Structure 1
Amino acid sequence: MAPEEGATHAVRRRVVLFPLPFQGHISPMLQLAELLRARGLAVTVLHTDFNALDPASHPELAFVSIHETLPDEAASPDADIVAQLLALNSACEAPFRDALEALLRGPDDVACAVVDGQWYAALGAASGLGVPVLALRTDSAATFRTVLAFPRLRASGYIPIKEEQLDELVPELEPLRVRDLIRVDGSDTDALCGFIARVADAMRGSACGVVLNTFDAIEAPELAKIQSKLSCPAFAVGPLHKLRPARPAAEHGSLHAPDRGCLPWLDAHPRRSVLYVSLGSVACVDRAAFEEMAWGLASSGVPFLWVVRPGSVRGTDEALSPPPLPDGLDEEAGWRRGKVVAWAPQREVLAHEAIGAFWTHCGWNSTLESICEGVPMLAQPCFADQTVNARYVTHQWGVGLEVGEEIERARVAEAVRTMMAGEEGDRVSQRARELKSPTDRCVATSLAIDNLVQYMMSL
C-alpha cells in the first residue's frame, strides 16, 4: 500500500479496480484510477501475478496481488486467446473474491468496484458479495454494441461467419459487414460465442454501470443504442489517456520498456514525412507476412518507424527478442530510411510533427490515440474487436485507408505511397485533422468523469 494511503485510519471512500492483465486493458484502467484519485477517492488496484503490474510506476495507488494459479498452457505466449480468457476467468474468480472480501474488512468504506468488462466471473463475484460493480469496456462503443448483439447474430445465422455472406451489411449494425464482426481466427467458434455470451450476461445481470473509454464526438449514435439495451447507466468517459493528470514520461506503467531513442530520430525528419508502424501489444503475424511488410516498407520510398515486438512474429524462435530481418534486407538502400524498435513511446510518437500516418492493427487504444492527435491510419486488423474498429476508421469516420487482406510487398508499398503522398491519403489526412477539433473540445471538460464519480458515491 502506498505510504500516504496507510498514514490515516479515518474512514475513506475506496474504489477497487481489477484490470485484465494485457497492456491494452491495463493502460485505460490505470488512467481511470489516476482520474478517480485526483477527485479524492482512495484507489486499490487488484492484479494478477500473470503479467503483473509494477507498483513503482504508480506510487500514489495501492496494489494488491490476488495470487491466482493459472494453468501453464493458459500463460503461454502461444495460447489461444479465447481459451486464455476463459482460463483466466476460471482461475481468478475465487482469489479475486477473497481479495475483495479482505478489503471489505479493512478500515475504509468500499464504495464500489470497477472491473474490466472481460472479467465476467469477477463481475458476478463482486455482485455476489453485495459490492456495487461497474464494468470498464476498453473497446469501442461499436464493439460493445456488437457484443450485446452477438446472441441475436448467432440465432440469425450470421455466426459462424460464412464465406458467401462476408460482404453483406449486418442489419442494425451498419456500417459493419459480416466480415467485420468480432472473430478470432483459429479459435473454436462455440468457445468464442460462449465467452461473449457470458460477458454480455454479466453486463446485464451483475453490473450496475458500464464505463466506456470513448466520447460523444465520435460514437454518439452507438452510445445511444447501447443505453437503450441496458438497464444500468453507461458513462462515456474517454479519451482517458488525454484526461488523466500529467505524469513524467518515464512513468508509463507499460509492460514493455519503450525505446526513447526513436524520438530524436524523428526530430531529424520533416513534418508529416514518417509512417509509424505498430501492430500493438498482442497481435501477431506469420513470418511470411512479416517479410512482405518489411520488403514493402523498404521499397515504398517512405521513411518509417516500425515497432517489432518480441514474440510478434509466429514461426520464429525469437520469443524474447525481435525476430531477424529477411535475408538481404539490411543491405537494401530503402531499408536505411527506416528505424526498427522493440517498443515505442506511442503517444509521444503520434504527437510528433514528423508522423504523417499510422499503420495500425486498430486496437482501440491505438485508434483513440491516433484520432486524438489527428493522425490518419492504414488499417490492418488482426482479430477480435480490431475488425470493427477498422471498419469505423475507414468507412464511418473516414480517417483511414485499408492495407488490404493480402499482405504482399508490392501492395504494401503502393498502400504506403497512397497514404503518404496520394490524393486519397490527402483526403483522409484532412478528415483526421478535422476530427481532432471535437476531440480537443471533449478533453477540455471533465464533466463525464465528474458524473461518473457522483454516481459511484451514490451507490
Structure 2
Amino acid sequence: MSTSDQPSGDLTHVALFPSAGMGHLVPFLRLAAALLRHHCKLTLITSHPAVSSAESQLISRFVSAFPQITELKFHIVSLDPLVANSDDPFFLQFEAIRRSVHLLTSPLSALSPPLSALVCDVSLISSALVLSATLKIPNYVLFTSSAIMFSLFAYYPFVKMSDPSGDLIHIPAIGSIPKTSLPPPLLVDNSIFNKIFTQDGRRIKELNGVLINAMDAMEGDTVAALNSGKVLDGLPPVVPIGPLLPCEFENPEGKSPIKWLEKLPPRSVVFASFGSRTAASREQIKEIGIGLASSGYKFLWIVKDKVVDKEDKEGLEEVVGEELMEKLEEKGMVLKEWVNQEEILGHRAVGGFVSHCGWNSVMEAALKGVPVLAWPQNGDQMINAGLVAKKGVGMWVEKWGWGHKCVVKGEELGGRIKELMESDVLRARAAELKEEAAKAVAVGGSCDRAIERLIGRWSKGI
C-alpha cells in the first residue's frame, strides 16, 4: 500500500485558517489537498467579505472540488482604515481578521469530531494562539514564504531591539540581509505589517510547529540551521512540506493560452507575470511591452494595473495603449485576467519566466524547471530573488531595485530576457532542480513523509 493510500488521518480533524491575498490562500488550499490525500478531516475557515474576486472564486472552486471539506464562513468585524494606519486593502484585512478571531471560539468548539490542531496563517499568530489555548489544541503556522524569510521573521524582533540603525541584518548561521532588501512596509514604523512582523515574531516559540513550502534542494541548509537552534534557540520544529502541488480546481474560467502555446516550438516563449498584488504604472506597462517586443522571442504577458481585481474595469487597449497593443499582438499574447500559472510554466513551449518572485511563483518555476528573471516588486520578493540567483536557477538585476519605485526601460528589459532565454547554464540548473522537486512530490517522497509525521503529531495532540 502506498503512503498516500494509508488511512493515517481518519481520526485527525484539522482546521486551516488562511488570511487575505492569493499568495496566502493558494498554499493553504494546496496543503488542504495534500492532507485530504492522507485522509484528514478538514475544516476550512474562510473570512468574509474577501478582498478580491479571485479569492472568492478560488474558494468556491475548491469547496466544489472537495465536498468532504467543512467550510466555516467567518464574517469579520469591519475596520476603520484611519484607526489601522494603512490604505493597503490586504493589510487592512489582516488586521480585521486578527481583531475578529475571538468570534471563532464557539463555532470551532462545536465541531465534531473535536479539532486535533489549528494551522493558521503567519499574519494571525497572536490572535490564533489565544484561540488555540482556549480550545486546548496545538497551534501550527503555515509560513507562506521561504525558509530564509522565516529566519528573518524569527530573528528580526531581536535585531530591531539591539541594533535598530544598522544597514545589514545579520542572522546567525544564515548570513546578512541588506535593509534595502527587507519588505518596504517593515521599515515603516507603526504600519500594520511592521506591527505583525515584530509582535508575532516574538511569539513564534509558543507555536507547536511551523510548516513551510520549501524543499531540501533549495533550502535544506536553512531549514537545518533553524531546527538545530543555530538561528535562534527554542524555535518550534520547522517542517518543509514543499513543493506544494497545484491542483485542478485552480483552473480559472476564461481565455486559456494553452492552445496558442501548442503551436509554438519548445522553449521559444517567455512568460511574464508579476503576481496577484502587483499593480504596475502605465509608464512601466508601456516599457514592459516594448521590452517583450524587442526581446526577439514570443511572449505571454499577464497585465495588471490595479492592486484589487474588483477595481479593474478598463480593457487591455486602454491600459497598454491601442498602438502598442497592435504591435504586441503580432509577436505574442497579452491577457488581463487570472490564469493557471503552473499549467503555463509546465508547457514545453515556455523557456523563461519574468517574475516578481513571489514565493508561490518561485516554487512553481522550480517544480517545472523554468529559469527565472527576477524583478521584485514588494514584500519578501527581493529576498526570494536573492535565493533564486544564489541557487543558479535564475538571474536578478539588483540595480533595478524595487519594481514599484523606478521604471526599467524596455530596451534593457528586452536584453535581459534574451540573456535569460539563451543561457544554457540557467536552463541546466533549473532542470536539475525540477528533478529534485519531482523526487520530493513522488509517492513516498519527502512531502508525503512530512505530512505523515505531522498527522502523527496531531493525532497525539502535539
Place the TM-score, normalised by the shorter chain, in its bin.
Answer: 0.7 to 0.9
CA–CA separation in structure 2 for the residues paired with 1:102 and 1:328? 60
- Does structure 2 conserve the Cα–Cα contact (< 8 Å) formed by 1:82 and 1:195? no
CA–CA separation in structure 2 for the residues paired with 1:122 and 1:156? 28
CA–CA separation in structure 2 for the residues paired with 1:69 and 1:12? 33
Which residue does 1:240 correspond to in 2?
A: 244
Cα RMSD of the aligned pairs, angstroms, is 2.8
Unaligned runs of 5+ in 2: 1-9, 51-55, 402-406
Among candidates 274, 277, 284, match of residue 279 of structure 1: 274
Which residue does 1:439 correspond to in 2?
A: 437
CA–CA separation in structure 1 for the residues paired with 2:235 and 2:176? 26
- Does structure 1 conserve the Cα–Cα contact (< 8 Å) formed by 2:358 and 2:380? yes
Deviations 1:319-374 (A, max 9, x none): 57656213520232x55211112122111101100001111111111100001111
Which letter does structure 1 place at the counterpart of 2:452? D
1:336 partnered with 2:337: no
1:30 partnered with 2:38: no
CA 269–35 in structure 1, closer or farther in 2 if over 3 Å, else same: same
Tell me the percent identity.
27
Among candidates 443, 446, 451, match of residue 449 of structure 1: 451
Which residue does 2:184 correspond to in 1?
A: 183
> Which secondary structure state, in structure 2, belongs to the residue aligned with residue 48 of structure 1?
strand
- Does structure 1 conserve the Cα–Cα contact (< 8 Å) formed by 2:204 and 2:235? no
1:149 partnered with 2:155: yes
- Does structure 2 conserve the Cα–Cα contact (< 8 Å) formed by 1:290 and 1:313? no
In the TM superposition, residue 129 of structure 1 has moved relative to its aligned partner by: 2.8
1:65-214 matched pairs, under 5 angstroms? 65-71=73-79, 73=81, 79=88, 81-90=90-99, 92-103=100-111, 107-120=112-125, 121-157=127-163, 165=167, 170=170, 172=172, 173-174=174-175, 176-184=177-185, 188=189, 191-205=192-206, 207-214=207-214
CA 381–158 in structure 1, closer or farther in 2 if over 3 Å, else same: farther
1:222-261 matched pairs, under 5 angstroms? 222-227=222-227, 228=229, 229=232, 230-241=234-245, 249=248, 251-252=249-250, 257-261=252-256
CA–CA separation in structure 2 for the residues paired with 1:171 and 1:108? 42
> Which secondary structure state, in structure 2, belongs to the residue aligned with residue 176 of structure 1?
strand
1:59 partnered with 2:67: yes
CA–CA separation in structure 2 for the residues paired with 1:289 and 1:123? 42
Which structure ranks higher in relative contact order (CA pairs < 8 Å, sequence separation ≥ 6)? 2
CA–CA separation in structure 1 for the residues paired with 2:369 and 2:92? 36
Which letter does structure 2 place at the counterpart of 1:143? M
Which residue does 2:43 correspond to in 1?
A: 44
CA–CA separation in structure 1 for the residues paired with 2:171 and 2:73? 43
1:290 partnered with 2:295: no
Which residue does 1:390 correspond to in 2?
A: 385
TM-score (norm 1): 0.84
TM-score (norm 2): 0.83
Which residue does 1:417 correspond to in 2?
A: 418
Which letter does structure 1 place at the counterpart of 2:331? R
Unaligned runs of 5+ in 1: 1-10
CA–CA separation in structure 1 for the residues paired with 2:280 and 2:368? 27
> Which secondary structure state, in structure 1, belongs to the residue aligned with residue 115 of structure 2?
strand
CA 40–145 in structure 1, closer or farther in 2 if over 3 Å, else same: same
1:362 partnered with 2:370: no
CA 83–40 in structure 1, closer or farther in 2 if over 3 Å, else same: closer
CA 189–220 in structure 1, closer or farther in 2 if over 3 Å, else same: farther
CA–CA separation in structure 2 for the residues paired with 1:320 and 1:14? 44
CA 328–320 in structure 1, closer or farther in 2 if over 3 Å, else same: closer
Which residue does 1:7 correspond to in 2?
A: none
Which letter does structure 2 place at the counterpart of 1:100? L
- Does structure 1 conserve the Cα–Cα contact (< 8 Å) formed by 2:344 and 2:350? yes
CA 186–82 in structure 1, closer or farther in 2 if over 3 Å, else same: farther
CA–CA separation in structure 1 for the residues paired with 2:171 and 2:242? 27
How many equivalent pairs are there?
A: 422
